[in-house]
Amino acid sequence: MKIYVASSSRDLARPRRVMAALEAAGLENALDWTKDIDEAAANGWKTDREVPDDLAIRSAERDLDAIFNADAILLLVNAGGTGQWIEFGFALGLNAEREEHDPMIFVAGDSKRTIFLRRKEIVGKYPTAHTLVSRWFATDEEAIQYLIGMHENS
């Protein structure tokens, strides 16, 4: 199973820990986007605004390609970031539009971070949103164990 882990770049330790745990269990990481953040930091770029257009566009395209080709997306909800919500919206749109390969979408973390995550019924209410979010988890560890179990049983 190929998984894309979406999270804020403000706390790289969290997605790196989750990616490492999933990879150690034999799941494939769709993309380690944290390397792009490391590259930006090495060049002294501290915000998205400072990253040159060519690198920003390349990074965004790689992220979206990875989501497009993933079997599952795990959104790690946190207090910061905007890119993770673009990635989440992109994955939701894929599920609404594609029949041949709908990525499973999982959410771990604070379900009250946004009004749109309060109840899965909100996301699932609309006709194009029949199976948008597969499962919510209170913690990263719960999500990791669930995904490892799915992988082992497949």
**Cα Rg of the chain, angstroms:** 15
Model confidence pLDDT, tens digit, residues 16-53: 999 999 999 999 999 999 999 999 999 999 888 899 99
Q: How far is CA 23 from CA 14, 26, 27, 102, 116, in A?
A: 14, 5, 5, 22, 30
Domain, as residue range, for 46? 2-152
Which stretch of DSSP H or E encloses residue 132? none
Is the pLDDT assigned to residue 134 strictly greater than 70?
yes
Question: How many independent structural domains does the chain possess?
Answer: 1
The CATH number that applies at residue 8 is 3.40.50.450
Q: How far is CA 48 from CA 11, 58, 86, 91, 92, in A?
A: 15, 13, 14, 22, 24
What gap in Å lies between CA 50 and CA 5, rounded to an integer?
Answer: 24
Which stretch of DSSP H or E encloses residue 49? none
The pTM for the full model equals: 0.87
Q: What is the reported pLDDT for 124? A: 54
Model confidence pLDDT, tens digit, residues 72-126: 999 999 877 788 989 988 888 887 666 665 668 888 988 777 766 655 555 555 5
**Angle between helical axes of 83-97 and 53-69 (0-180°, round to 10):** 40
